[in-house]
Amino acid sequence: MKALVKSAPGPGHVGIQEVAEPRCPPDRVKLEVAYCGICGTDLHVLSGAFHSNPPVILGHEFSGVVVETGADVQGIEPGLRAAGLGATAVTCGVCRFCRSGDFIFCSQRKGMGHGVDGAFTRYVLLRPDQVFEIPRGITLEEGAMTEPLAAAARAVLEIAKAKPGETALVSGPGPMGLLCLKLLLAEGVRTFVAGAPGDGERLRAALCCGALAAAPADELRACVLEQTAGQGVDLAFECAGHPDSARTCLDSLRPMGRMTQVAIYGREIPLPMDRIFYKQLTVSGSICYTAQTWRRVMELFAAGRLRLNDLVGIKLPLSEWEQGFHLCQSRQMVKVLLYPEK
């Protein structure tokens, strides 16, 4: 089968290779990949900025159909449509973080798509606990966005604990920002979206999703104040990983507001810390998710409270991965999905 492989550390060394189709051991489930989304992390693995463990197949945001189950596997049958929780592929299982469900902090952890083989290929093997059924009525394209949606749900529902009737600012209209927007709207939170020059396409997408207003940050400021009785928003989500965006979040919050850091800066940035002091803000980080977050996201899907098809910009065959990566990098598309060729 064909696979998109990072073959050596450092910048580049990514290309399509022929790899052996995996055989299903007794304790595993074999999934035929339907779609795998391109994520910022994949771009960073390509550039060498994000640590990977080559040779390794990239791709960690995937959906597919179960084609085979090992003899010891119960309760999962071929034909099941599922998304895969790749981030728990390797963990120690016994440290304090594994025991509390916060596997992301396990020092032994290796996730699919950079630590171990991922899903930019035709078949993947999963443990049964990594398999999450995609509810009826939800497309495989939407299912492929379960992973980033769970990361957004961690930030919006579990870290920020957004409540109906609150107001929020999402700064950065990339895939993660728009997923946060969708979740905030589903919770009944009135939400503004701030972008940068060059975000036109994605800001339009934010308006189509139902944002109260979506514009470059400096244009949005007056509107936010007007709509919040001059006070500012209750919640801000930094989804761009840019210092200007962090400043926009701190400036837009009302006194005692909550900021959640969802994106990565990849470097040290100057911040007006006095805003945090004078407004008594709470600033929290949100990284990854737990398995419980995944169950929650599947419940939201099943309840019909969330549709994501409008976030799919384009679907490309795996062989056209370079074009897909380029579209993501140039911020012209919300989500780019790759699918394996038969």
* Binding letters toward Zn ion, positions 267-306, x by CB under 5 A: ----------------------------------------
Nearest distance from residue 282's CB to Zn ion, in Å? 26
Q: Which of 92, 264, 269, 273 binds Zn ion (CB under 5 A)?
A: 92
Tokens of 271: 């911040």
Q: Which of 45, 106, 153, 160 binds Zn ion (CB under 5 A)?
A: 106
CA separation for the pair 213, 197 (Å, rounded): 16
CB of 94 to Zn ion, least distance (A): 6
- Measured distance CA(135)–CA(154) in Å, rounded: 20
In the bound state with Zn ion, the residue whose beta carbon lies nearer, of 127 and 275, is 127
The residue (of 95 and 223) whose beta carbon lies closer to Zn ion is 95
Structure tokens at 281: 């803000």
Q: What are 37's strand-pairing partners?
A: 61, 337
CB of 240 to Zn ion, least distance (A): 16
- Contact between 254 and 231 under an 8 Å Cβ cutoff? The reply is yes
Candidates 11-19, 63-71, 83-91, 157-165 — which segment interacts with Zn ion by CB under 5 A?
83-91
Q: Is 98 in the site for Zn ion (CB under 5 A)?
A: yes
Q: Taking a C-beta distance cutoff of 8 angstroms, is the pair 240, 171 a contact?
A: yes
User: Which range, of 87-95, 162-170, 223-231, 239-247, touches Zn ion by CB under 5 A?
Assistant: 87-95
Non-local (6+) Cβ contacts of 64 within 8 A are 31, 32, 33, 34, 35, 81, 82, 84, 119, 124, 140
**Which residue is listed with tokens 């699918």?**
339
Q: Considering only residues 95, 104, 276, 314, which one is a binding residue for Zn ion as defined by CB under 5 A?
A: 95
- Using the rule CB under 5 A, is 82 a contact of Zn ion? no
CB nearer to Zn ion: pick between 111 and 232 = 111
Rounded CA-CA distance 22/12 in Å is: 26
239 interacts with Zn ion by CB under 5 A: no
The set of residues, in sequence order, having a beta carbon less than 8 Å from that of 327 and lying 6+ positions away, is: 313, 314, 333, 336
Binding mask 2-41 for Zn ion (x = CB under 5 A): -------------------------------------x-x
Please say which residue, 41 or 286, places its beta carbon nearer to Zn ion: 41
* Range 199-203, long-range pairs (CB < 8 A, 24+ positions): 199/173, 199/331, 201/331, 201/332, 201/333, 202/173, 202/174, 202/177, 202/178, 202/331, 202/334, 203/173
Residue 264 sits in the site that holds Zn ion (CB under 5 A): no
Distance CA(310)–CA(91), nearest Å, equals 35
Buried b vs exposed e over 149-169: b needs ≥16 C-beta within 10 Å?
bbbbbbbbbbbbebeeebbbb
Give the nearer residue to Zn ion in terms of CB position, either 192 or 301. Answer: 301
Least distance in angstroms from the C-beta of 253 to Zn ion? 27
Residue closer to Zn ion by CB (options 56, 98) is 98
Whole-number minimum distance, CB 179 to Zn ion, in Å?
Answer: 11
Nearest distance, CB of residue 26 and Zn ion, angstroms: 24
> Among the candidate windows 10-18, 104-112, 126-134, 272-280, which touches Zn ion by CB under 5 A?
104-112
Query: Phi, psi at residue 200, to the nearest 5°?
Result: -45, -50
Conformational region of residue 12, where left means phi above 0, alpha means psi within -120 to 50, and beta covers everything else = left
Residue ranges in contact with Zn ion by CB under 5 A: 39, 41, 91-92, 95, 98, 106
